[in-house]
Amino acid sequence: MNYDQAFDREDTRAIREMLSGSGYSDKAIEYYLNRPNMGSLPDANQVTELTGRCGDTMKVYLKLEHGRIEDAKFQVLGCPGAVASAMAAVDIIKGKTIEEARTIKDRDIFRVLGELPDQKQHCIRLAVKTLLKALDGHVGSNDLDPEGG
């Protein structure tokens, strides 16, 4: 193990402890650290961005085919709650029809994450609203969410 690997491991442990102590579940921490659905989709046919009142921004890329979500990714400029919520949202909606995905609720994401600090519940809201906005087909760029994230 070289110095960088040792440092990374120590760093990750410290982040894990910090998040766990703040009220994030292990699942939410995994999403935050591993970011399985983070990035862009070059063949997306729906790209929508939303900024919460907190200043965090999410951009969702959807690849829609025959009324179904074939693939999805999020880019997130935001807190651990925002990253975890966006990653969970993708896992929930991937493979679903647009109509099915439209029924996504905050509690669906919360159920996947298990636990999030109380003051981070609005991060789930921002992920849901970004997704619903995308599904409604409102292509946005840097729109400010009037109700906050």
Determine the interface stretch with ligand FES among 29-37, 38-46, 78-86, 128-136 (rule: CB under 6 A).
78-86
How far apart are the two ends of the chain, measured CA to CA in Å? 41
Least distance (Å) from ligand FES to the CB of residue 78? Answer: 5
Per CB under 6 A, does 126 bind ligand FES? yes
Q: Which two tokens stand for residue 13?
A: 């442990």
Q: Which of 28, 72, 89, 123 is catalytic?
A: 123
Look at residues 129, 21, 105, 36 and name the one whose alpha carbon lies nearest to residue 74: 36
Residue 144 makes contact with ligand FES by CB under 6 A: no
**Cβ–Cβ < 8 Å for 131, 137:** no
Tokens of 30: 């995994």
Active site residues: 54, 123
Site of interaction with ligand FES (CB under 6 A): 52, 54, 56, 78-79, 81-82, 120, 123, 126, 149
